[in-house]
Amino acid sequence: MIRTFKCIFVLLLGLMALLYALQNIANIEACYAAIAYVLSLADHSVYPHSIFPAITAPSVVWTAVVVIITSELIAALLLFIGCWQMWQARKAAAKEFNQRKAFALYGAGVGIVVWFGYFGVFGGALMQMWQTQAGGMSLTGAFQYFASCVFVWLIVNNPDT
């Protein structure tokens, strides 16, 4: 039953990554506006000076949007592959099941890069997005998604015997 739960957790994490990517695509103009707002360093009153310049070039903003959405889609794909491989090996010997976890761990790892790296490190620490209401809400959401990725990564990575 533990292996079945691990497969379900990976499937749910893959669905989360896919749904966020699809929501970003469905709301592409709003997605662009949110990223542009964060990168512009607009409305920063707590720490009004930044060590990094504001980014307002549309080509750079669109690049960020594409990188984020593509990364979410890659995470989803890796997680779905990992889920399928784990599901196929759920009744196999522990060694085989443990070997089949690789893609699931890669997918969760990409999710960590997206929601911790892109949003926490670059958005939060570098671009100081926590200073605005919209940025703060995005950062809070990103932490929840990052935590989901970490928990699934830790659970799945725990060796089966």
What is the predicted pLDDT for the residue at 84? Answer: 98
- Angstrom distances, CA of residue 98 to CA of 1, 2, 89, 152: 15, 13, 9, 14
Total structural domains in the chain? 1
* Residue-number span of the structural domain to which 111 is assigned: 2-157
pLDDT, averaged across the chain: 96
pLDDT for residue 161 is more than 90: no
Q: Which pair of tokens denotes residue 52?
A: 């990094």
pLDDT for residue 60 is more than 90: yes
pTM: 0.93
Least confident of 100-109, 129-138, 146-155: 129-138
The secondary structure of 66-87 as a DSSP string is HHHHHHHHHHHHHHHHHHHHHH
